[in-house]
Chain A
Amino acid sequence: MIADLVISLVFIGYAISVLMGFGTILTWVERKQAAVMSDRIGANRAYIRIPGTQVKLVWLGLFHGMADGLKMLLKEDFKPRTYDWYAYAVAPWVVFTPVLLVFAVIPFGGSLTPARLWEPLSAFFGDKTWPMQIATLDAGILIVFAFSGLTIIGAMLAGWSSSNKFSLLGALRAGSQMISYELVLGLTVLGLILVYGTVNLDAMVRQQSGIVLGFLPAWGIVYQPFAATLFLAAAIAENKRIPFDLPEAESELIAGYFTEYSAMKMGLFMFAEFIEIAIIGALFTTLFLGGYNLPYMSDAGFAFPGGAAVAMPHGAVVVTQLGTFLLKVFLVCSFQILIRWTLPRFRYDQVLMFAWKFMFPLALANLCVTAVVVWAVRS
């Protein structure tokens, strides 16, 4: 019982630190990657001076994220004279919290047996094995959608309560855009659910550990390349990033629904966006890129198609899986940033048209084709 609690706390701590770390680092990565893509140098000036010396740790400007956070914390918190301070105050949290909660159902590693990590631990943990996932729910993917539905409310509350026309416009845009794309998101994932036959994310990842056609890893993207594309696009639209950043389009709406926010409240919106990049990365990894699985790797170690095998101790396996997951997530995040700095913004009517007249039918068609194929294969 207590062991469960400890493990849970460890996992929660890991998840929060991973998310926060991603949130902080991505703010820097975004700028740095944009710079490298456009032949610039990018953020490179923030440093930490070791107290008492003149040694400045620059580390390629890695501390910019921290500097940003600090800046936002210390800024003055301007509040508009609004008619609903409560909604105004609650909105950033409604946006921020669900984003964190989504990570609860994402498996970030295989299974963990503390006793096999280090012998003395067995005194406390026994021989029990835990899946590396905060909440092993049979409704996994549904939870993700449920929570992402919550953020819509937050955005709309924020825009409405700011008593600002731009904010209101941003909120209206956010509402309709996110609902439209959530539908597409759900439909694309349905195809995947058909393929895997489960909604449990951990089970999905486990099914992706094998090999198809002799050499390809049995990842979701192999089965559903089309759905993967649609999913990524819809997820980026959910996150309101370029090319779908109409709710906060700077050139039209200043900052959209959070125009009237300042200091850390505004920081929460930004932070939520960056964490959601990581969440999308994690989801995409889990659903389409085999999660924590490396090709040819199992709990025992590597087993290559040729017959060669490398045994690995439990600790190494755990670390490899954690590392694999983080690396994949990071790569997907980096890809999202690449998209953000490549594509121009849609027009607002185009965004909704795109959702309803292009992606929705495609997702539907994908679902139908998948259903037929799955039916044909299974029967």
Chain B
Amino acid sequence: MGLLTLIVVLPLVGFVLNGLLGNRLGKGFVSAVGCGMPAMAFAVTIKCFLDLKGAGWAPIAETAYVWTMVGQDSFEVAFWFDRLTAVMALIVTGVGTLIHVYSTGYMHEDKSYARYFAYLNLFLFFMLLLVLGKSLLVLFVGWEGVGLASYLLIGFWFGDMEKAAAGKKAFIVNRIGDAGFLLGMFVIYSAVGTLDMPHINKAFTSGAAPAVSASLVGLLLFIGATGKSAQIPLYVWLPDAMAGPTPVSALIHAATMVTAGVYLVARMSGIYLNAPEASTVIAAVGALTALMAATIALAQDDIKKVLAYSTVSQLGFMFVALGVGAYGVAVFHVYTHAFFKACLFLGAGSVIHAMSGEQDIKKMGGLAKKIPITFFTFALATAAIAGIPPLSGFFSKDEILWYALASGRGGSWLLLGVMAFTALLTAFYMFRLLWLTFFGKPRMIKEVEHHIHESPPSMTGVLVILAVLSAVGGFLSIPHFLEPLVALPAVRPGMDAFHYFVVGGSIAIALAGLVGAAYFFGGDAARAAKVRASFAGAYRVLNNKYYVDELYDRFINRPLLWISEAVFLKLGDRLLIDGTLNGLASVAQRTAGRLSRVQTGSLHKYAFMVLVGMVASLVWMWRNG
């Protein structure tokens, strides 16, 4: 068994052990296995990374076993480890391990402790399968698997109907995207004849595959990506997914799984390089999503909802980067985002922990002194996401803004404008969150206030690590590291001059957001209330998320229901099919009434008929055969 297989199998072992034996062997065992397996996987990943480096960055391929042969094509469970995979695998295992450790503190009182860790390990297994898979097929298995794990974990407290429904919603919305993904796979398989991703990329870049299919394939795969990475129009599941335990939100719905779409597009960059139309669509969808989610986030009061919409918005940023061909930059943002968003979510978890389960930021305030570690880490991560230099978010966001303007593959001033505005909004709502949560007067009930306490070291330690990473992570230039694999797009002529303008602009934007939030929400947030009062209509729209769920309900669900009720059921089923069948059945019944005399109910006679029939057919066969 090779090292790559080992990486994948370790969390699976954890899943099996925890799932089968966890409840019997106690929390110590569960924690040890649950955290040990990801940690070992992380260690092995580092070893693989060093091997990769030692081998002069030549990709490592490994076939675990041949799944099946269909005709000449063999479908293998094979793994592929190159620079892109290395980055993703390190994020997944590293952040994953940290979040596992955090969970030991966060979930300590839960009665389904073992089940939780089993699911978490299962998720990690599928995520690694997704990231390490060499062929689209393996990737797809991982893709579906993380969907399953996400469903299980969102609905982890399935006793609560709302949470169970959120799990279902995530699952079903993802299926829509998966349908696109599957179609894309079919098209690829029929066009290229293989599902091996290196092969596919080569086929598309060398032009061996028909060029017309590139955009189609790109779009179909992108539909899958919108589902998993929560882009318009399929982003609606992600905010609801916050029903799961907070570490899950951090791991799955911020750091790893939702970036799978980004990874997919980056991995299939060979296709998108030849599909300018698809790339344009991606950029447009990304920008729209980013803007829309950011505006919604302005008006949310649930701490996790704000973070969820911020995630959607950041994913939009990544897709803009993908759309303008800056794949390395998108992965860079995935990487920095993993740190600061995980830190934010875990910090939020710590806050919720401290607040005995309260999630409404209107009922918080003044927490900075009571939970200082959480506050500092949260503030650091907020600064990072807002893009304050020299924190990691600054670098990646700045790169995205730069390529949104300057990329030779679709950069424009319009795109830059939208993204810059979104960045401003990002800084604003993040600092709003920070202010409402940690500053000002305490607005919570007395008992809750009395109980506020700092989280155990297993949680704060993780927070500190993540905060440090989100502070310094930006100095590692992922785009240049990935340059040999996915080249950065050429810069439009005459744009070099604007580079420092963009850098300066993005710093200014971040600071503006900070200052604005401080201005509006400082003290008792009276100014904000005034603004809200004067824009009540807009606020309601934003607070209700543009009524997207309702729109979906009105324009998709109800018509569908009506069609299935009126057309398919009443007309098709009852009248046509049933009518025909009933007619036939009555004919048959009348005939059968006569034939049923043959049915004597005596098994002997039936057997005798068989005998007679056999003799007859044998005789006929001998005579005529």
* Interface residues, chain A, with chain B CB atoms under 8 Å away: 376, 379
Contact = CB atoms under 8 A, between A and B. Distances in A.
B69 interface: no
B1 interface: yes
A376 B9 CA distance: 13
A376 B65 CA distance: 11
B14 to A, nearest CB: 16
B79 to A, nearest CB: 15
A230 to B, nearest CB: 19
Contacts of B1: 376, 379
Contacts of B65: 379
3 shortest interchain CB distances as A-B pairs: A376-B1, A379-B65, A379-B1
A379 B65 CA distance: 9
Interface in B505-522: none
A306 to B, nearest CB: 36
A246 to B, nearest CB: 29
Contacts of A376: 1
Interface in B1-20: 1
A18 B322 CA distance: 81
3 contacts: A376-B1, A379-B1, A379-B65
Interface in B31-85: 65
A357 to B, nearest CB: 14
A376 B64 CA distance: 10
Contacts, number: 3
Nearest to A375: B65
Contacts of A379: 1, 65
B63 to A, nearest CB: 10
Interface residues of B, number: 2
A376 B6 CA distance: 12
Nearest to B1: A376
Nearest to B65: A379
A183 to B, nearest CB: 22
Interface of B: 1, 65
Nearest to B20: A365
A379 B1 CA distance: 8
B485 to A, nearest CB: 30
Nearest to B64: A379
A29 to B, nearest CB: 43
A376 B1 CA distance: 6
A305 to B, nearest CB: 31
B108 to A, nearest CB: 31
A54 B10 CA distance: 79
A362 to B, nearest CB: 13
A102 B191 CA distance: 61
A96 to B, nearest CB: 38
Nearest to A376: B1
B295 to A, nearest CB: 53
A177 to B, nearest CB: 28
B92 to A, nearest CB: 25
A334 B518 CA distance: 88
A7 B456 CA distance: 80
B182 to A, nearest CB: 31
Nearest to A365: B20
A376 to B, nearest CB: 5
A376 B2 CA distance: 10
A373 to B, nearest CB: 11
A376 B5 CA distance: 11
A351 to B, nearest CB: 24
B191 to A, nearest CB: 33
A369 to B, nearest CB: 12
B163 to A, nearest CB: 34
Nearest to A372: B1
B86 to A, nearest CB: 25
B93 to A, nearest CB: 22
B275 to A, nearest CB: 40
B429 to A, nearest CB: 51
A294 B1 CA distance: 35
A155 B65 CA distance: 47
B89 to A, nearest CB: 22
B414 to A, nearest CB: 56
Nearest to B5: A376
A275 B249 CA distance: 66
A379 B77 CA distance: 15
A229 B251 CA distance: 45
A379 B62 CA distance: 13
A208 B1 CA distance: 27
A256 B65 CA distance: 53
A27 B169 CA distance: 72
B1 to A, nearest CB: 5
A320 B31 CA distance: 56
A375 B378 CA distance: 49
A351 B65 CA distance: 41
B9 to A, nearest CB: 10
A261 to B, nearest CB: 39
B378 to A, nearest CB: 45
A308 to B, nearest CB: 40
A366 to B, nearest CB: 15
A14 B65 CA distance: 49
B207 to A, nearest CB: 38
A258 B65 CA distance: 54
A379 B66 CA distance: 12
B384 to A, nearest CB: 44
A302 to B, nearest CB: 39
